[in-house]
Structure 1
Amino acid sequence: MLWFLLGVTLLIGGYFIYGKLIERIFGIRPERQTPAIANNDGVDYVPMSTKKVYLVQLLNIAGLGPIFGPILGALYGPTALLWIVFGSIFAGAVHDYFSGMLSVRAGGASVPTVVGRELGGIAKQFMNGFAVLLLLLVGVVFTLGPAKLLGNLSGTSVPVWVAIIFGYYMVATIVPIDKIIGRFYPFFGALLVFMSVGLLIGLAFSDKPFYAAGVTLDNLHPQDLPLWPLLFITIACGALSGFHATQSPLMARCMENERNGRFVFYGAMIGEGVIALIWATLGMSFYDSPEALNATLAQGGPAAVVNDVATSLLGAVGGLLAILGVVVLPITSGDTSFRAARLILSDFLRFDQKPVAKRLMVALPLFAVGFLISQMDFNVI
Structure 2
Amino acid sequence: MCWDRLFVEGAGKKKGGNSMITFFACLVLLVVGFFTYGKLVEKVFRVDNRQTPAVAHPDGVDFVPMKTWRIYLIQLLNIAGLGPIYGALAGACWGPVVYLWIVFGTILGGGVHDFLSGMMSERHDGKSISELVGIYMGKVMTFIMRVFSVVLLVMVGVNFSVGPAKLIGMLTPPVVGTSFWLAVILIYYLLATFLPVDKIIGKIYPIFGICLIIMALGIAGAILINPAYELPELTAAAFSVVHPKGLPMWAMMFVTVACGAISGFHATQSPIMARCLTSEQEGRTVFYGAMVTEGIIALIWAAAGVTFYNGVGPLSDAIDALGQGGVVYEISTTLMGPVGGVLAMIGVIACPITSGDTAFRSARLTIADWFHIDQSSVKKRAALSAPLLVVGAVIATALPWDILWRYFSWSNQTLAMMVLWTGAVFLFRFGYPPVCCFMAALPATFMSAVSMTYILQAPEGFQLSTSIAYPVGVIFAAACLVLFVVQTYVRNRDSAGTAEVRA
Distance in 1 (CA, whole Å) between partners of 2:343 and 2:123 is: 39
Q: Does 1:253 align with 2:275?
A: yes
Aligned to 1:358: 380
Q: For structure 2, list consecutive stretches of 5 or more residues without a partner in the other structure.
A: 1-19, 405-503
Counting only pairs closer than 5 Å after superposition, residues 206-217 of structure 1 correspond to structure 2 as 206-212=226-232, 215=235, 216-217=238-239
Please tell me whether residue 367 in structure 1 is matched to residue 367 in structure 2.
Answer: no
Q: Is the 8 A contact 1:48 1:255 kept in 2?
A: yes
How far off its partner does 1:217 sit?
Answer: 2.4
Match of 1:327 among 327, 337, 349: 349
Show CA shifts across 1:109-161 (max 9, x none).
00111112112222111111110000000000000010000011113311111
**1:199 — aligned with what?**
219
**In the alignment, what sits opposite 2:180?**
160
Matched, 1:265 2:277: no
Quick check: 1:28–1:259 contact (8 Å CA) kept in 2? yes
CA distance in 2, matches of 1:212, 1:97: 32
Please report how far the alpha carbon of residue 205 of structure 1 lies from its aligned counterpart in structure 2 after TM superposition.
2.6
1:339 aligns with 2:365: no
1:103 is displaced (CA, Å) by 0.1
Q: Give the Cα separation in 2 of the matches to 1:245 and 1:4.
A: 28
Which of 20, 39, 62 is 1:20 aligned to? 39
Q: Do the aligned partners of 1:247 and 1:337 also contact (CA within 8 Å) in 2? A: yes
Which of 187, 197, 200 is the equivalent residue of 2:207? 187
**Equivalent pair of 2:31/2:292 in contact (CA under 8 Å):** yes
**Would you say 1:114 and 2:114 are equivalent positions?**
no
Counterpart position of 1:380: 403
Deviation at 1:214, TM superposition (A): 7.3
Instruction: Tell me how far apart the structure 2 counterparts of residues 190 and 317 of structure 1 sit (CA, whole Å).
Output: 14
Contact 1:103/1:249, CA 8 A, preserved across alignment: yes
Aligned partner of residue 230 in structure 2, secondary structure: coil
TM-score normalised by the chain length of structure 2: 0.74
Give the whole-Å Cα distance in 1 for the aligned partners of 2:163 and 2:362: 20
- Alpha-carbon offset, residue 93 of structure 1: 0.6
User: 1:308 corresponds to which residue?
Assistant: 330
- What is the alpha-carbon distance in structure 2 between the residues aligned to residue 347 and residue 10 of structure 1? 38
Q: Number of residues paired by the alignment?
A: 380
Whole-angstrom CA distance in 2 between matches of 1:341 and 1:47: 21
Q: Distance in 2 between matches of 1:336 and 1:343?
A: 10
User: Any conservation in 1 of the 2:97–2:234 contact (CA below 8 Å)?
Assistant: no
Return the structure number with greater relative CO, CA threshold 8 A, min gap 6: 1
Change (3 A) 1:302 1:213: farther
Deviation, 1:27, is 1.1
Q: Quick check: 1:274 aligned with 2:292? A: no
Counterparts in 2 of 1:300 and 1:213: CA distance versus 1, 3 Å: farther
Which amino acid in the other structure matches residue 358 of structure 1?
Answer: K
**Secondary structure in 1 matching 2:402:** coil
* Structure having the higher Rg: 2
TM-score (norm 1): 0.97
Residue in 2 aligned with 1:79?
Answer: 97
2:153 is the alignment partner of 1:135: yes
Q: Mean Cα displacement is larger for which, 346-355 or 38-47?
A: 346-355
Shift of 1:212: 5.0
Aligned-pair identity in percent equals 48
CA contact (8 A) 1:238 1:272 kept: yes
Which of 58, 73, 95 pairs up with 2:113?
Answer: 95
Structure 1 runs of 4+ with >6 Å offset: none
Residue type of the alignment partner of 2:376: K
Instruction: Say yes or no: does 1:50 pair with 2:73.
Output: no
Shift of 1:213: 7.9
Q: 1: distance between equivalents of 2:111 and 2:232?
A: 30
Query: What amino acid is aligned across from residue 144 of structure 1 in structure 2?
Result: V
